[in-house]
Amino acid sequence: LVQNYPNPFNPITKIKYSIPKSSQVSLKIFNTLGEEIETLVNEEKPVGTYELNWNAANLPSGVYFYRLLAGSFVQTRKMILLR
């Protein structure tokens, strides 16, 4: 899971991740209270590198977290939406 770019962002950012072996992949966005904001990916993915754009135009400025679950791998990173 690569740090989003740009960070801080307004209102679109890129999130990139790589999967070393085929597995069920989940990529979710959370606010600072731990509430799930959006699910970006929730499916079986083959080996590869993936990049997606997240549009936060309808959300207020603040800190958000994105978490990747792929098989037994879990990683969370922080991003900042700055209006």
Predicted TM-score of the model (pTM): 0.95
CB 53 within 8 A of CB 26: no
Distances (CA, A) of 9 to 14, 60, 66, 67, 77: 9, 12, 14, 18, 14
**6-48: pLDDT as tens digits:** 999 999 999 999 999 999 999 999 999 999 999 999 999 999 9
Give the DSSP H/E element, type plus range, for residue 45. strand 36-45
**53-70: pLDDT as tens digits:** 999 999 999 999 999 999
